[in-house]
């Protein structure tokens, strides 16, 4: 194809600090489950005469997000007023960072194309801003909920480095992982905790200059983002190929109709008249604060994937482990403890993920220590694989701790001497089978293992039994 799409992103991440950005009101995360206008004060309703003051937690999370994206943190950044009128913004401006943002200039590496290619995207900046209130339209009436007003956001602006919708989605998934792994926010697209605006233009592959770009908004899932981008690329190519011109505009994606429509055209594009907010002094961030925050920095998804690829993990395992950040952290913690990655991954896939699917839950029903205990006993040969499974499922479904279950079930480690005596007994009792084995009938060993297992009442490890029989017969 001779056309090349050029795509850049503006992503808003809602921070999960306890308080709003400039006042002590609670920073609600789920607005539809909170009574409207119950977490408000004169500052976040932008009443005249009340002065905003930056809270430490949202600032720390803003710095942490910058660090997670590899940005340079500005020791001194500025707050600006972005002027526009809307009923959910009574002062007529939003407080944001336009000229000197908190985090600037770096690039993020992410895996794409089913973890086969590593790509880079440059970040222009990641700045702090305060969200507006929320308009609710019901029965022909409009209501305003100010619970969201003044809640902290970080807006991430990328360079137009993306070429395809899949790349965008893979980057956004990595961004979401970094937000979650670092407990910066919940980044749920459907709940508006992560909002993505996409800027798209197309040009002929040999062209140097960019053609007119269009902004697309209102996508609430990764699927919707992909559909909206694919649709817009196709729409623009069709226009240019028919010798028309693409208009600079903002379009609204309708994910039910799978098409977009014009929301704002260039003629009525807003001039935000940014200017420094006189109520807020420059935001000064010391190196000590940056150092302190950087202690909390979690390993990125990109890095975790790389390590799993080094272990020859297949795509299914990687998806399963990365899909849930609690599981990903559990995996990291266990590998750090010295457990072999594949062993841990196998248990995560076969026990935890299976349990979650069966019970339709996303929460781990036990503590890390208890799970670790099961794996440790298994590794040390104090539990058999079959017993460990029973312990795991009782632990997960009934909330008991492993030792309690082991005691109740009477799971006792069987010592090797005892197994050896059962092996000897079985061999003596079955001279015919022994003879058959010696004649070269390999399959008869299963019969002998079965005899020993019967004697042990299922308590012996079949692998060990097999080893001991072979040793006896050699």
Residue 50 Cβ, how far from Zn ion at the closest point, in Å?
9
Residue 153 Cβ, how far from Zn ion at the closest point, in Å?
15
What is the residue-wise DSSP string for 21-75? SSSSSB--S-GGGS-TTSS--TTTTT-TTPPP---HHHHHHHHHHHHHTTPEEPS
Q: Which residue intervals of 117-221 are DSSP H helices?
A: 165-181
Residue 93 Cβ, how far from Zn ion at the closest point, in Å?
17
What does the block give as tokens for 422?
């059962």
Contact of 228 with 219, CB cutoff 8 Å: yes
Dist. CA 420–CA 425, nearest whole Å: 9
21 binds Zn ion (CB under 5 A): no
Please, which residues have CB within 8 angstroms of residue 440's CB and are 6 or more apart in sequence? none
Nearer to Zn ion, 9 or 23 (CB): 23
Residue 149 Cβ, how far from Zn ion at the closest point, in Å?
8
Nearer to Zn ion, 25 or 356 (CB): 25
What does the block give as tokens for 299?
């390993």
Dist. CA 351–CA 117, nearest whole Å: 30
What does the block give as tokens for 331?
């995996």
Nearer to Zn ion, 46 or 371 (CB): 46
Dist. CA 158–CA 123, nearest whole Å: 4
- Tell me the window of 21-29, 132-140, 297-305, 307-315 that interacts with Zn ion (CB under 5 A): 21-29
Dist. CA 25–CA 368, nearest whole Å: 34
Main-chain dihedrals φ then ψ at residue 198, nearest 5 degrees: -115, 130
Nearer to Zn ion, 56 or 270 (CB): 56
Residue 186 Cβ, how far from Zn ion at the closest point, in Å?
21
Residue 90 Cβ, how far from Zn ion at the closest point, in Å?
13
Dist. CA 93–CA 252, nearest whole Å: 23
What counts of helices (H) and strands (E) characterise the chain? 16, 16
Nearer to Zn ion, 280 or 445 (CB): 280
Residue 298 DSSP label: P
- Residues in 26-85 at the binding interface with Zn ion, rule: CB under 5 A: 41, 43-44
Nearer to Zn ion, 43 or 387 (CB): 43
Dist. CA 301–CA 174, nearest whole Å: 6
Helix (H, G, I), strand (E, B) or coil at 157: strand
Residue 55 Cβ, how far from Zn ion at the closest point, in Å?
10
132 binds Zn ion (CB under 5 A): no
Main-chain dihedrals φ then ψ at residue 465, nearest 5 degrees: -60, -45
Closest CA to 94 of 135, 57, 128: 128
Residue 53 Cβ, how far from Zn ion at the closest point, in Å?
11
Residue 42 Cβ, how far from Zn ion at the closest point, in Å?
7
Nearer to Zn ion, 43 or 55 (CB): 43
Contact of 260 with 232, CB cutoff 8 Å: yes
Residue from 6, 7, 25, 406 touching Zn ion (CB under 5 A): that is 25
23 binds Zn ion (CB under 5 A): yes
Helix (H, G, I), strand (E, B) or coil at 111: strand
Helix (H, G, I), strand (E, B) or coil at 276: strand
Residues 290-319: x/- map of binding to Zn ion (CB under 5 A)?
A: ------------------------------
Residue 106 Cβ, how far from Zn ion at the closest point, in Å?
33
Nearer to Zn ion, 25 or 377 (CB): 25
Nearer to Zn ion, 128 or 348 (CB): 128
Nearer to Zn ion, 11 or 23 (CB): 23
What does the block give as tokens for 268?
């009525």
- Tell me the window of 25-33, 325-333, 346-354, 430-438 that interacts with Zn ion (CB under 5 A): 25-33
By the criterion CB under 5 A, which residues form the site for Zn ion?
A: 23, 25, 41, 43-44
């Amino acid at each position: 194809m001779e056309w090349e799409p050029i795509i850049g992103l503006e992503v808003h991440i809602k921070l999960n600090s306890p308080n709003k950005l400039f006042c002590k009101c609670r920073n609600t995360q789920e607005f539809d489950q909170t009574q409207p206008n119950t977490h408000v004060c004169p500052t976040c309703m932008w009443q005249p005469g009340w002065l905003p003051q930056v809270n430490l937690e949202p600032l720390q999370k803003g710095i942490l997000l910058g660090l997670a994206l590899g940005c340079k943190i500005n020791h001194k950044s500025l707050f600006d007023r972005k002027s526009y009128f809307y009923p959910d913004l009574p002062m007529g401006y939003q407080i944001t960072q336009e000229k000197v943002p908190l985090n600037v200039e770096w690039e993020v590496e992410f895996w794409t194309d089913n973890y086969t290619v590593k790509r880079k995207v440059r970040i222009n900046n990641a700045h702090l801003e305060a969200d507006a209130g929320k308009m609710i339209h019901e029965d022909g009436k409009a209501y305003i909920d100010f619970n969201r007003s003044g809640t902290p956001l970080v807006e991430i602006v990328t360079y137009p480095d993306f070429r395809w919708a899949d790349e965008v989605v893979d980057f956004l998934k990595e961004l979401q992982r970094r937000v979650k792994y670092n407990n910066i926010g919940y980044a749920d697209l459907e709940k508006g905790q992560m909002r993505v605006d996409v800027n798209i233009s197309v040009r002929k592959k040999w062209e140097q200059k960019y053609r007119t770009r269009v902004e697309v908004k209102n996508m609430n899932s990764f699927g919707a983002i992909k559909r909206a981008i694919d649709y817009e690329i196709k729409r623009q190519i069709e226009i240019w190929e028919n010798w028309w011109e693409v208009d600079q505009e903002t379009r609204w994606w309708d994910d039910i109709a799978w098409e977009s429509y014009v929301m704002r055209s260039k003629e009525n594009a807003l001039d935000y008249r940014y200017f420094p907010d006189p109520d807020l002094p420059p935001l000064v961030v010391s190196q000590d604060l940056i150092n302190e925050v950087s202690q909390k920095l979690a390993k990125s998804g990109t890095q975790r994937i790389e390590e799993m690829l080094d272990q020859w993990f297949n795509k299914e395992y990687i998806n399963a482990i990365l899909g849930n950040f609690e599981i990903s952290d559990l995996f990291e913690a266990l590998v750090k403890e010295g457990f072999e990655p594949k062993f841990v991954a196998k248990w995560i896939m076969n026990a935890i993920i299976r349990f979650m699917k069966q019970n339709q839950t996303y929460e781990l029903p036990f503590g890390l220590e208890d799970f670790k205990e099961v794996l440790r006993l298994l590794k040390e040969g104090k539990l058999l694989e079959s017993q460990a499974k029973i312990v795991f499922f009782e632990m997960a479904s009934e909330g008991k701790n492993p030792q309690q279950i082991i005691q109740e079930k009477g799971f006792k480690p069987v010592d090797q001497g005892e197994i050896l005596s059962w092996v000897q007994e079985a061999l003596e009792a079955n001279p015919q089978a022994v003879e058959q084995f010696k004649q070269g009938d390999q399959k008869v060993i299963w019969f002998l293992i079965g005899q020993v297992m019967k004697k042990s009442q299922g308590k012996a490890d079949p692998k060990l039994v097999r080893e001991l029989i072979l040793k006896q017969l050699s």
